[in-house]
Amino acid sequence: MRDPYSVLGVAKSASEAEIKKAFRQLAKKHHPDTKGGDETAQKKFQEISAAYDILGDKEKRAKFDRGEIDANGNPSYGQGFQGSPFGQGGAGGTKDFHFTWANQGGDTAEGFRAEDIFADLFGGGRGRRNQARRGEDFDLAVTVSFSEAALGATRRVTLPDGRDLDVRIPTGLKDGQQIRLKRQAAPGTNGGPAGDVLLTISVAPHPYFVRDGNDLRLDLPITLKEAVLGGKVTVPTLTGHVALTVPPNSNSGAVLRLKGKGVPGRGSSSGGEAAGDLYVKLVITLPDKPDAALNDFVSRWQTDYDPRAKLK
C-alpha cells in the first residue's frame, strides 16, 4: 500500500482531528455502497480504510513513524525484507488487508468510531437504517437571581429550536449546578426518545447577602449610639425585614444569629435538610458628613480605657 499519509492526503504533522476529518470525507466519497458496488471504489475504499487503520491508532501511527511497521501494518525487518517472518505476505510481500467495520468497532484514540461514517452515509448504517435513534440534547446556560436560587422559582427559557419552556428552579440551588429536563430537547427518529435539556445555572450575586452553604452572612451598619446603648434594629432577610436586638456595648465585628433565616432546607421538616441561619455582623458606621454635636461630645469625653492595651 502507498504511504498512508499520502492516501489520506494529510501531512505527517497532522493532528488526530485532521486525520479523522480526512478519513470521514474520503470514506463518504468512495464508499462502495454509494458507487453501486463499483470495483474501483471498493479498492479505493479499502486503501483509505487501511491507511486510517494505521494513522487512526496512536500506537500504530507511532510505530509507522519510527519505521517499526510498514504501510500495511507489518513489522519491518530491514531493507528489502518487509512483512512477517511467519508467512504473512512472505519476503518483500504485503498483507492482504480486508477492512470491515468490525476492525473499528471500539473507540479509537481520539474517541471516534468508524460506525459514525455509516451514520452519516445511511442514517444509522446498513442493517441499522430503521433503528430508533435518540434525539439531540440541548445544553443551555441560565442566570438566575440570588433569591430565585435560594427560594426557588419558575423561569421561562427559550430552546434552540425556538420553543419556550417553563423551568422550575428548585429551592437552595447553588451556582454551577445543573438541571436536567428529560425528553424535552430534539425529537428522536424512527420512534426513538427525545433528547434532554441540560441547564447550567449561574447565580447572580446579591447586593448584601453572601451565601455559605445554607447559611447567609450580612454586614449590618449600626450607629455609635446603637452600639453603646443597644436597641432594636431592622434587618433584611430573604423573605422580608425582621427586628434584631443589639446588646448594649456591642463592638464592631460582633456577630448575631437569626436562626432559620438563611436558605430554606429541602424536603420535609422531619426528614429533610434544615434551613440555614442568617449571621449578622455589626459594623459601627459614622455619619457621612461630620456631626458637630458628636465631635463636641467626644472631645469632652474623659476615659482611661485603652482598646490597644493588649497589643503593647
| Strand 197-203 versus strand 178-181 pairing type | antiparallel
Common-topology check for domains 138-203 and 211-311: yes
Q: 10-residue block means of pLDDT along the chain (312 residues)?
A: 89 90 84 67 83 89 90 68 41 40 39 50 52 92 95 93 93 94 92 93 96 96 95 96 97 97 76 87 93 89 86 88
Q: How many C-beta atoms surround the C-beta of residue 45 within 10 A?
A: 21
DSSP secondary structure letters along 139-154: EEEEEE-HHHHHH-EE
- Per CATH, the number for 138-203 is 2.60.260.20
Between the alpha carbon of residue 207 and those of residues 137, 177, 204, 219, 298, the distances in Å are 35, 21, 10, 11, 33
pLDDT attached to residue 89: 41
| Domain map (residue ranges) of the chain | 4-122, 138-203, 211-311
Cell numbers at residue 130, please? 430503521
Reported as a single tens digit per residue, the pLDDT across 10-45 is 999 999 888 988 888 888 787 766 655 677 877 888
Domain 4-122 adopts which CATH fold?
Helix Hairpins (1.10.287)
| Strand 197-203 versus strand 255-258 pairing type | unpaired
pLDDT attached to residue 32: 66
Instruction: Determine contact, residues 257/244, Cβ cutoff 8 Å.
Output: no
Q: Which CATH class is domain 211-311?
A: mainly beta
Output the pTM of the full model.
Answer: 0.56
Angle between helices 39-55 and 16-30 (to 10 degrees): 170
Reported as a single tens digit per residue, the pLDDT across 181-228 is 999 999 998 888 999 999 999 999 999 999 999 999 999 999 999 999
